[in-house]
Chain A
Amino acid sequence: MSSWVADGWLADGWLAGAAVSSDFFRDRSGGGCIQENKLFCPDWAINNLDRYSDPTLQHLVLVVSAVAAGFVIAFSLAVLAHRHRFLSSPFLAATGVLYTIPSISFFFLLLPITGRGAVTAIIALTAFTLQIIFRNMTTGLRNVPPEVTEAARGVGLTATQVLWKVEIPLAMPEIIAGLRIATVSTVALATLAVFANGGGLGAEIVTGSNITFKTGIIIAGSIAILMAIVFDALLLLTGRLLAPWKRVAL
Chain B
Amino acid sequence: MSAGPPAQTAQDDDPGDRPSGNQSTATPVKYEEVSKRYPGTDSDAVHELSLEVPAGEICVLVGPSGCGKTTAMRMVNRTVEMTSGDILIGDRSVRQGDAAELRREIGYVIQQIGLFPHRTIAENIGTVPGLLGWSRAEIEQRVEALLKLIDLNPEFGDRYPSQLSGGQQQRVGVARALAVDPPVMLMDEPFGAIDPINRSRLQNEFLRLQAELRKTVLFVTHDVDEAIKMGDRIAILRKGGEVAQFATPTELLMEPADDFVEDFVGADRALKRLALMRVSDASLWKAQICRAGDPTGPVRTDLASAEVPHALLVDAESKPVGWLSERDLAAEQVPARPDSPADPLIDADSILRDGLATLLQSGSRYAPVVDGRGHLTGILSVEIISEFLSSGEATESDLAAVERPHE
Also in contact, A147 and B113, with CB within 8 A (given A158-B100, A245-B160): yes
Also in contact, A154 and B162, with CB within 8 A (given A243-B118, A245-B118): no
> Is the CB–CB distance between B110 and A248 below 8 Å?
no
CB distance from B266 to the nearest CB of A (A): 30
Interface residues of B, CB < 8 Å — how many?
A: 30
> Is the CB–CB distance between B101 and A152 below 8 Å?
no
Taking CB atoms, residues of chain B closer than 8 Å to A150 are 79, 110, 112, 114
Taking CB atoms, residues of chain B closer than 8 Å to A155 are 103-104, 108, 127-128, 131, 176-177
Closest residue of chain B to A147, judged by CB? B112
B159 within 8 Å of A (CB atoms):
yes
CB distance from B124 to the nearest CB of A (A): 9
A229 within 8 Å of B (CB atoms):
no
Taking CB atoms, residues of chain A closer than 8 Å to B116 are 148, 151-152, 166, 170
Taking CB atoms, residues of chain A closer than 8 Å to B101 are 156
Closest residue of chain B to A153, judged by CB? B79
CB contacts between A and B, total, < 8 Å = 78
> Is the CB–CB distance between B159 and A248 below 8 Å?
yes
CB distance from A165 to the nearest CB of B (A): 8
> Is the CB–CB distance between B110 and A156 below 8 Å?
no
> Chain A interface mostly helix, strand, loop or mixed?
helix
B35 within 8 Å of A (CB atoms):
no
Q: Name the residue among A151, A155, A243, A249 with the largest chain B CB count within 10 angstroms.
A: A155
Also in contact, A156 and B100, with CB within 8 A (given A147-B112, A245-B118): yes
A169 within 8 Å of B (CB atoms):
yes
Which of B110, B117, B160 contacts A154, CB < 8 Å? B110
B198 within 8 Å of A (CB atoms):
no
A161 to B99, CA, bound (A): 14
Q: Which 4 A-B pairs have the closest CB atoms?
A: A151-B114, A156-B104, A147-B112, A156-B103
Interface residues of A (CB under 8 A from B): 145, 147-148, 150-158, 161, 166, 169-170, 172, 243-245, 248-250
12 pairs from A and B in contact (CB 8 Å cutoff): A147-B110, A148-B114, A151-B116, A153-B103, A154-B108, A156-B101, A156-B105, A166-B116, A172-B118, A245-B119, A248-B159, A250-B163
